[in-house]
Amino acid sequence: MKIYFHLNIEGFSNCYVIGNELTGEAIIVDPGIITPQIIDTIEEGGYKLAGVLVTHNHGSHVHGLETLRKIYTPQIFAADWEVAGSETYVLKDEGIIQIAGLTVGYMSVPGHTPDSMVYKIGSVLFTGDVMSAGKIGSSNNKFSEKALIKNINEKILSQQEDTILMPGHGPPTTVGAEKLFNVALNPRNNDKLTKLGLN
C-alpha cells in the first residue's frame, strides 16, 4: 500500500490517494479539490480508481467529488447521503468494507459533525476533522465537544500507540503522540509542552 498526500490549497485540507500495488487499484480520501497532480498520481501510477472515502460533508473535503465523477466511476462511501445522493454507500456505526483489494475499517466519531467518519487501513487512521496533531475538531457546543472527546478516547486513543493518524488538516501524527501532548484531550499535557519549551 502506498499513500500519496495532496494539499487542497483553497481550504488547506488534506486529500490522500491510497494505491494498492498488488491490484492496481486506488482509493481517494476527502477529495476537497481535484488537481492535475491527483490525476497524475492515479494515471501515471497505473491505478484504477475504485473508491472514495469521505470523512464528513464539508466543502473543503468534498468539493472535488463532482469533478472526480466526471472522469471516473468510483464507489463513494460516506455517512451523509447528500454527499453523492443515490450513488452514496451510506455507512453507519462501525464496520468493515473491502475496496481496491484493501480491508477498510470505518467508525462513526460524531462531535465535529454528526456524520464524521474515521477510516482505518492497516495501521493508518484517516481522521478527517475529528482530530489532528495537537488538536481536536471544532464543535458547535459543549455537549458536542464532550461527545467528541469521549469518542476520540474510546475509538482512537484505544488503538495501538504506533497507529498513524492522517488528519484532514495539518501534519500526520500518532496515537502515542496525541496521548502525550494533545492539550485538548488532557489539559495536564500543557505542562509537558512547557517543560519541552513548546508552549
Split into its structural domains, the chain has a count of 1
Name the residue with cell 471516473.
72
Q: Which long-range contacts (CB under 8 A, 24 or more apart) does 18-21 make?
A: 18/100, 18/102, 18/121, 19/45, 19/47, 20/47, 20/100, 20/101, 20/102
**CATH at 70:** 3.60.15.10
User: Given this model, what pLDDT does residue 197 score?
Assistant: 54
Q: Which residues of the chain have pLDDT under 50?
A: 192-193
Domain of 106?
2-195
Assigned C-alpha cell, 55: 470523512
| pTM greater than 0.95 | no
User: Given this model, what pLDDT does residue 193 score?
Assistant: 47
User: Given this model, what pLDDT does residue 94 score?
Assistant: 95
